[in-house]
Amino acid sequence: MLRTGEILDNSIHEHEHTTNRYAVIPTLTRLDADSNYTGKGVTIAFLDSGFYAHPDLVEPNNRILAYKDIVDVNADIYLSPAAESWQWHGTQTSVVAAGNGRLSEGTYCGLALNARLVLVKVSDQGRITETTIARGLEWVIENRERYNIRVLNISLGGDEDVPCSLSVIDQLAEDAIQQGIAVIVAAGNSGSEGKHSIPPANSPSVITVGGYHDNNQLERSRLELYQSNFGATVDGSIKPEIIAPAMWVAAPILPGTVLYKKAEAFSRLASVPDYQLAKLVRELEEAAVLPASLVDAVPAVIRDLIDSELSQNKIVATHYQHVDGTSFAAPIVSSIVAQMIEANPKLTPGAIKNILISTADRIADAPAIRQGFGVVNARRAVALAKTEEHALGTVRCGPVRVSDGTLLFQFHHDSATSVSLGGNFNGWNTTRSQLAKDSSGLWQLAIEAPQPGRYQYKFLIDGERWMEDPTNGMKVPDNYGGLNSVLVIE
């Protein structure tokens, strides 16, 4: 995830590794996603440092509907003579979500490979400010109807965490959601330092995405938490809501760069038999920046160098490398959201968030506060989206719970047969507080408001599974490895 004031370099990555498996699992396979939905008819907007008109986005059909440079109004993405370092991050996030895998024969495609894109550059040669982020958000909101923007991916953030009501970025993110745009934001990568999310990832209504990794294996037992930002914001909301792959994610190498040429050369070297190595080393000596002594080296020495270069540069294919960070977990979720909207165009941002939360699975024995509701489940989310009929609303800077001395609870869970409420205002006695389904299918309960104070509560589904309130971002640990929702009555 990018922060304001950062200058990008094509050789800098969010988290370094010392191993390389050469090939990584494609996102479609890794998530067991439904390939029948490809984001067709859905427009995803990306706010990022810069973009390149990558073949995975523009060939054979150009799916970039619009390109807006907030800093340089005369900039044209198609007239860029060569790829620049600040274009790396945005190119990779957009291709991770919506690339068609053109340069990998379809292998490394995004889940939303048929989605349309709106690309909004909010940096000055890689330098980002809160002002340019705000201007980018304003432009997306103003042009929402023109391009039918339904999803907004933001893999960058502002300076410091401040209350939602005092953050221009947070307020604009909330406005975008009120206008019908599902906003997905990267949580950040400083969780090991004890940091929590910053604007707009701290905004209560956005879908904040943390990360996990699977060691490039399909076994779910291999899942581990990534170093995502987490914890309570200034407003008390717990972020992130969900987690997605943040390591071993295939992304494009910028065409025309030194790394691109090296990747082509070393991929060719890795694929030929030993007897052809010496000849190919001479042919590719300049492009691969090979030492002159390698021409006379034995195959074993050449192979060692190839392995080292592929590992150091995370090269997984001729035109791709594997990348890490919540910057890439977020666009994976954005691509799932595009699938969901294709399956059900009537979905509101509130319904989308609720579906993603309700279909996620927590990693066992991992702190709930670090993973929110858990690992995103692409197939389950799309399946539930197809049947969703509720136009769920969104919260702004904290849920409103009390009206005329009455406390109103609403809960959305179509498959539940019973829902009850437990909290320290009713002694955690769920038999006293049963929710009832209204005519629209939402579970509701109205009770007399307790005395002013700070309360904790949770919902019990079908008498066996506890779940915190998906509409309330304010939570605290429940001392059993999970979280309780928090209610403040003044």
pLDDT at res. 15: 34
Task: Check residues 82 and 368 and name the one with the higher pLDDT.
Answer: 368
Q: What is the pLDDT of residues 429-439, one digit of tens each?
A: 988 899 998 87
Cα 115 from Cα 129, distance rounded (Å): 28
pLDDT at res. 12: 32
Q: What mean pLDDT is predicted for residues 342-366? A: 92
**Residue 98 and residue 67 share a domain:** yes
Amino acid occupying residue 421:
L
- Please say whether the beta carbons of 232 and 372 come within 8 A: no
Q: Is residue 260 part of a domain?
A: yes
Q: What is the CATH number of the domain that holds 468?
A: 2.60.40.10
Q: Is residue 485 part of a domain?
A: yes
**Residue 331 and residue 306 share a domain:** no
Cα 375 from Cα 360, distance rounded (Å): 5
Q: What mean pLDDT is predicted for residues 73-88? A: 79
Task: Check residues 236 and 207 and name the one with the higher pLDDT.
Answer: 207
pLDDT at res. 20: 36
Q: How many domains does the chain have?
A: 3
Residue 275 has pLDDT above 50, yes or no: yes
Q: What mean pLDDT is predicted for residues 397-414? A: 71
pLDDT at res. 50: 93
- Of 39-48, 73-82, 252-261, 423-432, the poorest mean pLDDT is in 73-82
Amino acid occupying residue 331:
P
* Token pair for 413: 């869970």
Query: Where does a domain end: 299, 318, 337?
Result: 318
- Please say whether the beta carbons of 112 and 39 come within 8 A: yes
Residue 247 CA, chain-centre distance (Å), reads: 12
**Residue 330 and residue 279 share a domain:** no
Burial group, residue 280, by CB count within 10 angstroms (0-12, 13-18, 19+) = middle
pLDDT at res. 392: 63
**Residue 415 and residue 355 share a domain:** no
Q: Is residue 270 part of a domain?
A: yes
Bridge-based pairing state of the strands 116-121 and 43-48:
parallel
Q: What mean pLDDT is predicted for residues 338-355? A: 95
Q: Is residue 432 part of a domain?
A: yes
Q: Give the confidence band of 3 by pLDDT, cuts at 50, 70, 90.
A: low
pLDDT at res. 342: 98
Q: Does residue 60 have a cis bond before it (omega within 30 degrees)?
A: yes
Q: What is the pLDDT of residues 282-315, one digit of tens each?
A: 888 887 788 888 888 898 998 888 888 888 888 8
Q: What mean pLDDT is predicted for residues 96-119? A: 97
**Residue 456 and residue 379 share a domain:** no
**Residue 153 and residue 93 share a domain:** yes
- Please say whether the beta carbons of 362 and 375 come within 8 A: yes
Task: Check residues 439 and 213 and name the one with the higher pLDDT.
Answer: 213
Q: Which of 7-16, 134-143, 405-414 has the highest mean pLDDT?
A: 134-143
Q: What mean pLDDT is predicted for residues 379-396? A: 78
pLDDT at res. 222: 81
Q: For all residues of the chain together, what is the average pLDDT?
A: 87
**Residue 222 and residue 170 share a domain:** yes
Three-point CA angle 6, 242, 469, nearest 5°: 125
Q: Is residue 393 part of a domain?
A: no
pLDDT at res. 419: 94
**Residue 241 and residue 187 share a domain:** yes
**H or E stretch covering 48:** strand 43-48
Q: Is residue 394 part of a domain?
A: no
Cα–Cα distance list, 227 to 323, 327, 369 (Å): 14, 12, 13
Q: What is the dihedral angle through the alpha carbons of 80, 82, 85, 90, rounded to the nearest 10 degrees?
A: 50
- Please say whether the beta carbons of 240 and 231 come within 8 A: no
Q: What mean pLDDT is predicted for residues 38-57? A: 96
Cα 357 from Cα 138, distance rounded (Å): 27
- The conformational region for residue 313 under phi > 0 = left, psi -120 to 50 = alpha, else beta, is alpha
Q: What mean pLDDT is predicted for residues 162-191? A: 92
**Residue 161 and residue 47 share a domain:** yes
**Residue 411 and residue 377 share a domain:** no
DSSP secondary structure letters along 352-364: HHHHHHHH-BPPT
- Please say whether the beta carbons of 250 and 108 come within 8 A: yes
Residue 8 CA, chain-centre distance (Å), reads: 20
- Look up the domain containing 192 and give its range: 2-251+322-387
Radius of gyration of the chain (CA): 24
Query: Where does a domain end: 276, 296, 318?
Result: 318
Q: Does residue 345 have a cis bond before it (omega within 30 degrees)?
A: no
Burial group, residue 368, by CB count within 10 angstroms (0-12, 13-18, 19+) = buried
**Residue 333 and residue 314 share a domain:** no
Q: What is the CATH number of the domain that holds 194?
A: 3.40.50.200
Q: Is residue 170 part of a domain?
A: yes
Residue 402 has pLDDT above 70, yes or no: no
Q: Is residue 476 part of a domain?
A: yes
**Residue 169 and residue 38 share a domain:** yes
Query: Where does a domain end: 318, 334, 352?
Result: 318
